[in-house]
Amino acid sequence: MSALEAGDVMAQVELHCLRVRNGFRVVDLLLSEPERHRAAAFRSIEARRLFVAGRFLCRHILGSRLGCAPQALSIATTPSGRPYLPDHPDIDFNISHTRDLVALAINHGGRIGIDIERHDAFSETEAFEIMPMILSEHELDQVRQLEPRHRRDAFLACWVRKEAALKCLGLGFRIDPQTVTVAPNGTTPSTGDREPGASIFVHSGRLGDTEAGVFEWAVATSKPISQPTWRHHEACDSLRGILWNLE
């Protein structure tokens, strides 16, 4: 059964990632007019490239699942900037990107949020400076009890889980991340946006290797899911024509 078909009690999720290697360039021919304007607004060439690659990945994968051409897919954004499919309210998707990697999560049967970060996204010193702004007092105590060499990894794992949960809620970091407590079996945001005790279910892990880069990821859903698996894409396979090598 396709991951975009209804029927199961548990939500059906797909995870896709596309590596945007150095030397690749992107074209924006398939983007909508608002997406082109948004891409042009980025001051950083790298940020623009990742945004366009993310939208292309969405349009090709979602268009294929829904039986329509990538450029025909209608993608709108909420006032907070979260993309959604106005013609398919039963399908939720979310995008995350870090240096040279774009991730896409698709869910039929509930909300979804995803976050992915490189393990070298920041130094140990930077991690120690950021921790008090992200972690609750209890989480901060737990991290500080670890050996110093393990603290950055533990913090990054917690970071991606929190951000995925907040993106699933549609809030992002507009609320204090310290108010979201991440537990092994899910998260319970202490905000007024959800009923007390309502859970968001989180799966997380690592991708990559020391040569290509190691990435920490987390996906959060409003309904239980089985352990998701990743589908990896390169410019030369099912996304041929999206990206290509510069000569």
Buried-state track 70-106, b at ≥16 Cβ within 10 A, e below 16: beebebeeeeeebbbbeebeebbbbbbbbebbbbbbb
pLDDT, mean of each 10-residue run, the chain (247 residues) = 48 89 66 89 87 91 93 90 92 92 92 93 87 90 90 91 89 76 62 55 85 87 86 62 38
- d(Cα 111, Cα 90) in Å, to the nearest integer? 9
Which one-letter DSSP state was computed for residue 228?
P
Q: What is the pLDDT of residue 117?
A: 94
Q: Residue 56: name the closest of 4, 107, 16 by CA.
A: 16
Q: What is the pLDDT of residue 9?
A: 63
Domains in the chain, CATH or no CATH each: 1-110+223-247 (3.90.470.20), 114-222 (3.90.470.20)
- The structure's pTM equals 0.85
Q: What is the pLDDT of residue 4?
A: 45
Q: What is the pLDDT of residue 1?
A: 39
Residue given tokens 């390169």 in the structure block: 234
Q: What is the pLDDT of residue 6?
A: 43
Q: What is the pLDDT of residue 100?
A: 83
